[in-house]
Amino acid sequence: MKNIEYFKPTTIDQALRVKQEMGREACYIAGGTDVLVLAREKKLDCRALISLRRIPELAGISLQDDVLHLGPATTLTDILENGEVARELPILHDAVQVMGSTQMRNMATVGGNVMTAASSGDTLGPLLCLDAVCRLVSPGGERRVPMDEMFVGPRTTAAEPDELLAGLEIPLPAAGGAISSGAFFKLTRRAAMDLALINVAVQLWVNPDRATIAKARLAAGVAAPTPVRLKQTEEELVGAPVAEATKEQVAIRAIGRECRLRDSDRCSAWYREEMLRVLIPRAAALALERMGIAV
Ligand SMILES: Cc1cc2nc3c(=O)[nH]c(=O)nc-3n(C[C@H](O)[C@H](O)[C@H](O)COP(=O)(O)OP(=O)(O)OC[C@H]3O[C@@H](n4cnc5c(N)ncnc54)[C@H](O)[C@@H]3O)c2cc1C
């Protein structure tokens, strides 16, 4: 590894100032589980790192007015151990539970997962399905970007180089008495410490009749160059009987129209398609089961 300068700001303003002074020569580092791998592989294009670990306002989970505020520097372990996430956002809890190892979850952060923007990023499908919003701050001020507009290309986000991810806002799906739940599944080659061959997130809202779908969110990872929402399918499910979301035929149509599966050295496009056909209905069925609806 080359010599890299290391900054330890304790406020967001200090972090932004260092970044402004050094420009592209400095990168943010949170848990370092992506950054340090790049550094070791000599693929890190920075001569300085700005640590986000000592900025208290970037970490933590709080609930205000039916919106869960998730600090980007919150570790995956803290998310996993949070009762509100487990109760209100099982789709995100499912995902964090199957990420890396205990040691890795103690270091890795949700903000790092978002900003790395890998198609395989396990929190990204859940955050897309939950209609999360990113708060991006820069010396020029703050803007809010819906998660759905964050992933603009392979490993590329809509954030400008001078912007820092300062917060994630997640409206509670069951706010106001809505009936909603979600589920996440990930397929890997081995049981632990592996990136997804494919992952699937489904969040469903059902009407008070508990028989028809009011709103649907479906997302898949490693199914395209970025994590993707299956928007056409989401629209078609509105008003449909709940069982429709669990039909393989619906998954097959979604994959054909809305995914861009490819072969890689990890597995073939054919295998990814076969597994998506199974995992999309399975995630929908588990979401319904969590609402007490049997199909
Ligand atoms: C052994 C191992 C297993 C892994 N398993 C999984 C897995 O199962 N699933 C999965 O999805 N990923 C996995 N990963 C990848 C990685 O751990 C995750 O992407 C993790 O969430 C990254 O978080 P971090 O805090 O370590 O990010 P860092 O490495 O600190 O940062 C990652 C990127 O985000 C930027 N960044 C971080 N925070 C901010 C911010 N607030 N504002 C702006 N930019 C920011 C950094 O500049 C950098 O570009 C694994 C990695 C390893 C090494």
pLDDT grade for 82, boundaries at 50, 70 and 90: very high
Q: Report the alpha-carbon angle 15-21-26, nearest 5.
A: 65
Mean pLDDT score, 41-68: 95
Give phi and psi for 131, each to the nearest 5: 55, 40
Give the CATH number of domain 179-290. Answer: 3.30.390.50
Decide: 138 in ligand 1 pocket, CB within 6 A: no
pLDDT above 70 for 80? yes
Measure the CA–CA gap between 126 and 181, rounded to whole angstroms.
Answer: 11
**Structure tokens of 214?**
């009011």
Ligand 1 pocket: which of 16, 20, 29 to mutate (most atoms <8 Å of CB)?
29
Location of structure tokens 């489904």 = 202
Å from CA of 108 to ligand 1 middle: 6
pLDDT grade for 1, boundaries at 50, 70 and 90: low
Å from CA of 257 to ligand 1 middle: 30
Q: Report the alpha-carbon angle 76-134-276, nearest 5.
A: 65
Class of domain 56-171: alpha beta
Residue 156: C-alpha distances to residues 40, 80, 120, 149, 161 (Å): 21, 26, 13, 11, 11
Report helix, strand or coil for 167. strand
Decide: 52 in ligand 1 pocket, CB within 6 A: yes
The predicted structure's pLDDT at residue 194: 80
Q: What is the pTM of this model?
A: 0.97
What lies within 8 Å, CB to CB, of 133 at 6+ separation is 144, 145, 146, 147, 168, 169, 170
Domains 5-51 and 56-171 share a fold: no
Task: Look up residue 236 and give its amino acid.
Answer: E
- The pLDDT tens digits of the residues spanning 185-241 come to 999 987 667 889 999 999 999 999 999 999 999 999 999 999 999 999 999 999 999
Looking at the DSSP bridge assignments, the partners of residue 184 are 201
Q: What percentage of the chain carries pLDDT values higher than 70? A: 98
Looking at the DSSP bridge assignments, the partners of residue 70 are 61, 168
Å from CA of 113 to ligand 1 middle: 4
Decide: 31 in ligand 1 pocket, CB within 6 A: yes
The predicted structure's pLDDT at residue 264: 92
Of the CATH numbers 3.40.50, 3.30.43, 1.10.3470, 3.30.70, which one belongs to the domain with range 5-51?
A: 3.30.43
Ligand 1 pocket: which of 38, 115, 194 to mutate (most atoms <8 Å of CB)?
115
pLDDT above 90 for 81? yes
Decide: 9 in ligand 1 pocket, CB within 6 A: no
Report helix, strand or coil for 151. strand
What lies within 8 Å, CB to CB, of 47 at 6+ separation is 2, 4, 5, 25, 26
Closest CA to 224 of 149, 151, 119: 119
pLDDT above 80 for 244? yes
Residue nearest to atom 38 of ligand 1 (CA): 112
Report helix, strand or coil for 201. strand
Mean pLDDT score, 33-40: 93
Decide: 44 in ligand 1 pocket, CB within 6 A: no
The predicted structure's pLDDT at residue 61: 98
* Sheet strands (E) in the chain: 5-7, 26-29, 48-51, 61-64, 67-70, 133-138, 141-146, 151-153, 156-157, 164-171, 179-187, 198-206, 213-221, 228-229
The predicted structure's pLDDT at residue 189: 86
Ligand 1 pocket: which of 25, 46, 113 to mutate (most atoms <8 Å of CB)?
113
Mean pLDDT score, 131-136: 98
- The pLDDT tens digits of the residues spanning 93-130 come to 999 999 999 999 999 999 999 999 999 999 999 999 99
Q: At what angle do helices 269-290 and 248-258 cross, to 10 degrees?
A: 130
- Average pLDDT taken over every residue of the chain: 96
Q: Kindly list the domain boundaries of the chain, sorted by start residue.
A: 5-51, 56-171, 179-290
pLDDT above 80 for 281? yes
Å from CA of 195 to ligand 1 middle: 12
pLDDT grade for 155, boundaries at 50, 70 and 90: very high
Helix (H) or strand (E) holding 80: helix 76-80
- DSSP-assigned letter for residue 150: T
The predicted structure's pLDDT at residue 2: 66
Closest CA to 5 of 137, 21, 159, 110: 21
Report helix, strand or coil for 215. strand
CB of 44 closer than 8 Å to CB of 35? yes
Closest CA to 204 of 167, 230, 165, 223: 230
